Amino acid sequence: MPKVTNREFNPNFSKALDIESLISAPLVAVSKANVVMAQGQTRFLLEYCFKKNGESYEPILIQMALTKPVIDPGKAAVKAVAASAPGVMPVVEAVEATPAIPQSMQMVTTHFTLPLLTIVPLNSLAVEKVNIDFDMEITSVASKPSGSANESNNTITDRKAQLYGKVSDSGSNSERGSANQSKTLNKIKINLNAATLPLPAGVLTIIDIYTKSIQAVPTENKPEN
């Protein structure tokens, strides 16, 4: 097994880059981190929430208990009817009657199955919010023509400003004192706030399909001892 040694993180702050690269670099890093997490989620889903059956995957099901009150309508008192010969109207006599069963409410427990993935809180694996805050020291300003080749034939050509800079080492600047105070004017404070979607649409659809397919399936109730 190769030996891994801890290396100190020494970023090269001296290299100037264009402003788009400086801003997009941490966002690309976050995006890549989310891809790694999405791959981890997919692997987790297939490994623990599904079981492989030949070429296809089947969801692992869990048992859920549904308890709901059921009203028993009861039974009204029924009067006994004396037997009579065929074709003759029966004579009702109030001599015997079965006792009435009063209306009652019972809690009935029903079992149903649910795919395991519908209760696993998967969205907690994603990067929720990113806050990136850094100072950018502008090293040079350039301009380049913007637009397509056809537009460049016009007499007035739009030129797009291009800023080049590097991540400012604010700690060392403060040590330099007031001698380099003019340099602070060339700084831009960049504050990025980025939020990610909770889950990819495909995973959400899979969960939605399984969630919608919940149907209460009564199973045999085991006799309680």
Q: Are 63 and 111 in contact (CB under 8 A)?
A: yes
Q: Which of 100, 198, 205, 221 binds another protein (CB under 8 A)?
A: 198
Q: Which of 17, 120, 130, 163 binds another protein (CB under 8 A)?
A: 120
Q: Are 168 and 195 in contact (CB under 8 A)?
A: no
Residue 183 found at the interface with another protein (CB under 8 A): no
Residue 111 found at the interface with another protein (CB under 8 A): yes
The distance of closest approach from Cβ of residue 195 to another protein in the complex, given in angstroms and rounded to an integer, is 14
CB atoms within 10 A of CB 166: 17
How far the first Cα of the chain sits from its last, in Å, is 57
Residue 214 found at the interface with another protein (CB under 8 A): yes
Contact string 38-67 vs another protein (x = CB under 8 A): --x---x---xx----------x-xxxxxx
Residue 130 found at the interface with another protein (CB under 8 A): no
- Token match 């080492």: residue? 169
Cα 159 to Cα 199: distance, rounded to the nearest angstrom:
40
Q: Is 223 exposed, middle or buried (0-12, 13-18, 19+ CB in 10 A)?
A: exposed
Contact string 68-87 vs another protein (x = CB under 8 A): xx------------------
Region from 12-20, 119-127, 129-137, 170-178 binding another protein, contact rule CB under 8 A: 119-127
Q: Which of 56, 124, 174, 225 binds another protein (CB under 8 A)?
A: 124
Question: At CA 19, angle to CA 164 and CA 22, rounded to 5?
Answer: 115
Count CA atoms closer than 13 A to 141's CA, side-chain side.
6
Which one, 114 or 138, has the nearer CB to another protein? 114
Q: Which of 125, 188, 203, 204 binds another protein (CB under 8 A)?
A: 125
Cα 186 to Cα 138: distance, rounded to the nearest angstrom:
5
- Contact residues toward another protein (CB under 8 A) are 36-37, 40, 44, 48-49, 60, 62-69, 111-112, 114, 116, 118-125, 198, 211-212, 214-216
